[in-house]
Chain A
Amino acid sequence: MKENYSVVIFYSTSTAIRAESLAKKDELIVKLIPVPRNLSSDCGICLRFNNEEKPKIEKILQDGKIEYENIYKI
């Protein structure tokens, strides 16, 4: 079965790592990966998650006042 993923693109690595830490505290399955080649980013890594977790991810970003560039399906 093919997984359906999205990624959050951030402005800085520290922010990406903070988002990962908060998501893991909420027991979401996430992974920091290099930014896919077709996307451009200020920082080299992005946070990958399963599409169905998008509302939860967005809530974490909002509650933590985490600034991010965008969310893309990959």
Chain B
Amino acid sequence: MIYFDNAATSYPKPKEVGQAMLHFLEKVGASPGRSGHRLSIEAGRMLYQTRESLAELFNIGDPLRIIFTLNVTEALNLTLKGLLRPGDQVITSSMEHNSVMRPLRELEKKGVEVKVISCSPKGSLESQDIEEAIKKNTKLIVLNHGSNVIGTLLPIIEVGKIARKHNILFLVDAAQTAGCYPLDIKRDNIDLLAFTGHKALFGPPGTGGLVVGEKVDIKKLNPLKVGGTGSRSESEEQPDFLPDVYESGTPNTVGLCGLNEGVRFILKEGVDKIRQHELSLSQRFITGLKEIPGVKVYGEEQVKDRVAVISFNIKDQLPSEVGLRLDEEYDIMCRVGLHCSPAAHKTIGTFPTGTVRFSMSWFNIFKEVDQAIIAVKNIAEGK
């Protein structure tokens, strides 16, 4: 079996991930932050260690500025719904996932002005177009870092500088880049970084979070949910400090223990080394695909402008049929269709049929890429 669906959920995970989760369930088990006994304290320490690892990865001074959520969707909903008010303008791109677009369309109905900057058919964005769209009421710029459809990287460093220059908050959706592309919230001028645990960070599903930068006034960022936090228990008002203000209810401690090991693995191997491997895999796959008559590859020519997400189509064949044949005849797992991003598919011209999408991880090897190329070639030749 060959797994090329890492942009959806990475598989396999480093073995330490599952081991840490089992250790938590068997040896710790308790609720963090709720009781004073040693198992509860130990559970709290384990959560804190996950924050410390992520803080090291993203260059965050205070690990308590990391809020845990269920996934990146929850982190994006929290930020967009918590920050934007009627009359505010928000700037985004035409390559966004529905985890950004749907909250924005909902907010638009409530009076938030949504400005969508068009990207090129390769998915690239001119940062100058962002700057020109800035108005007096612009509150936030939100961009995905790497496209989940065609892998194109958006120029977040340039846009971060623009946001800083105009004193506008900058939210980055790092669903496809956290763990496999260098991110530094200080260097990149990122105020809010939304990430998910189950993709390139190698954690289990049900883990993710939001980094709340120092320029964010938490009094102006409303929580998505309120409730028990284990702190300020005498009060019926939500606490106003990080991370408790945004972390109500018992967290997914077992999942977050797994995430910690995923991040430790990345820190040990090095993001640059992981990135380099994924670039090599992408280059090999794209080169192979382009030699097959009737195959169209979407996105940037240069792999350096991408993450390891590669979309293509075979002339006169439906993505769904190609995907089924890859699975049943060649034992290759990929994703086909619209990838939760109608805006991106309209931008690249693949709406409504979609694409066949391959996405690689650190654990894929060249032999798998070569087998995939042969499989696609056979299917394209009608074999």
Contacts and interface: CB of A to CB of B under 8 A. Distances in A.
Contacts of A28: none
Contacts of B62: 18, 64-65
A18 B230 contact: no
Nearest to A16: B44
B61 to A, nearest CB: 9
Contacts of A65: 62
A67 B242 CA distance: 11
Contacts of A13: 32-34, 41, 44, 230-231
B232 interface: yes
Main secondary structure on B side of the interface with A: loop
Nearest to A45: B36
Interface residues of A, number: 20
B241 interface: yes
A11 B239 contact: yes
B48 A11 contact: no
Nearest to B35: A44
Interface stretch (A1-9, A29-37, A49-57): A29-37
B244 A12 contact: yes
Contact of B230 (A20, A32, A43): A43
Interface string A56-74: 0000000011010000000
B52 A21 contact: yes
Interface string B217-231: 000000000000111
A35 to B, nearest CB: 7
Contact of B241 (A32, A45, A67): A67
Interface of A: 11-15, 17-18, 20-21, 32-35, 42-45, 64-65, 67
8 contacts: A12-B239, A13-B230, A15-B241, A18-B63, A34-B36, A35-B36, A43-B231, A44-B36
